[in-house]
Structure 1
């Protein structure tokens, strides 16, 4: 298990034990994190699971792939640390990863 923290827009922290190989989005949905709508179910076909990766983690998580970048064009208030949570796969070296949910989704 890998420790994952998702911070809702209102500041509520969701500290989750995430299975390696699962996605941040899957863990958010399983734990009823508000603001992660995930309308496409993780197919990278919408931008309703948009999150901001904590700056301490952006280099380790890495940049979005081309398809994800295209979908981020539909997200609201995109920042340099923006990612789609359906595209961030949990792995052991992400232990302690922190992401923040934006105020609203597309």
Structure 2
């Protein structure tokens, strides 16, 4: 009887852990980076978002190819860093570094 309870308890804990991991992954996928142009954000005039998008795309086009692709995938297409890493065959840490570096570079260009 005692042995059956320990086996049952062990399996119950393992199933709980698996369920927790599945929920955690689902939450992480749901918390994707905010896509740049989600329709809800722009209830203003049609020309303002279009003008903003043109300026942003011109700024992004001045960046190196890898950085441009990383920012485009994350902010315009709504992919996660992990998905971009798989797509570009690099680590998620490398994608994060590219993203931070490119955002800093864009910030410097805008402020100067």
Q: Give TM-score, length-normalised by structure 1.
A: 0.25
Greater RCO, CA 8 A, separation 6+: 1
TM norm structure 2: 0.25
Q: Which has the higher helix share?
A: 2
- The structure carrying a bigger strand percent of its residues is 1
